[in-house]
Copies of this chain bind each other. A is one copy, B any other.
Amino acid sequence: MNSQDTKKAVVLVSGGLDSATTLAIAKDQGFDCHALSFDYQQRHRSELAAAGNIAKFFAVSEHRLMTIDSGGPSGSALTDTDIPVPETPQQGIPVTYVPARNTVFLALALGYAEVIGASDIFIGVNAVDYSGYPDCRPEFIDAFEVLSNVATKAAVQGQRMRIHTPLMAMDKRRIIRTGIELGVDYSMTVSCYQANSQGRACGVCDSCRIRRAGFEAAGIADPTVYV
């Protein structure tokens, strides 16, 4: 099919392992991918450089960076440097939870999709090997899809919006194996919650622990550069 027939999709690309795999899947499904990243004053801002490299690697049609400044405290260890990132496993929803983050990200993705005429949004959420965030669960995604189909001019005019979550039911092992098959170079990705400015990972936060265990389970050498 030529580029006129290719369906546009907005793909949320954080710079981490999951979203890189999601982008590879969207490309593999034949979508014309438009990558979207967010600067939300996160402490691990080096992931944005990784997002740019991944977007380039997969030759997306556009990579847009949106900036959100919440104008004050966010109550999360990922954005308040006064709250330390836990380095041992936590019970319940951890302090790295950012209030309403995926709601905000999908809302902005919805606006971007409408502007470029896309009716498909890909997000790399996962409800198996994850940190227990409420906005990574299928019921959240389902509710957002319902919302997206009443929220926009495009929806009112009959365009059906779809929120794709190809990783939702995969464990980390399967995510990594899928990505490797689709050509993802995981050395380009940054998952760490407190990666340093060169993108080197701490090795001890929740995200690093889940990622490292995933490579072990997949039987693939961990390409992560640790501090």
What residues of chain A have their CB less than 8 Å away from a CB belonging to chain B?
A: 62, 64-75, 93, 97-104, 106-108, 110-112, 114-115, 134-135, 137, 139-140, 143-144, 146-148, 150-153, 155-156
Contacts and interface: CB of A to CB of B under 8 A. Distances in A.
Nearest to A94: B153
B99 A115 contact: yes
Given A67-B68, A99-B110, 16 more contacts: A64-B72, A66-B69, A67-B69, A68-B108, A75-B115, A97-B153, A99-B114, A100-B114, A100-B152, A102-B151, A104-B107, A104-B108, A107-B107, A139-B150, A143-B147, A146-B147
Contacts of A74: 111, 115
Mostly, the A contact residues are: helix
Nearest to A103: B107
Nearest to A93: B153
11 contacts: A66-B69, A75-B115, A99-B112, A99-B115, A100-B152, A103-B147, A135-B152, A137-B150, A140-B150, A140-B151, A143-B143
Given A66-B70, A93-B156, A107 B100 contact: yes
A97 B152 CA distance: 9
Contact of A135 (B99, B101, B134, B151): B151
A101 B153 CA distance: 11
B152 A73 contact: no
Contacts of A139: 150
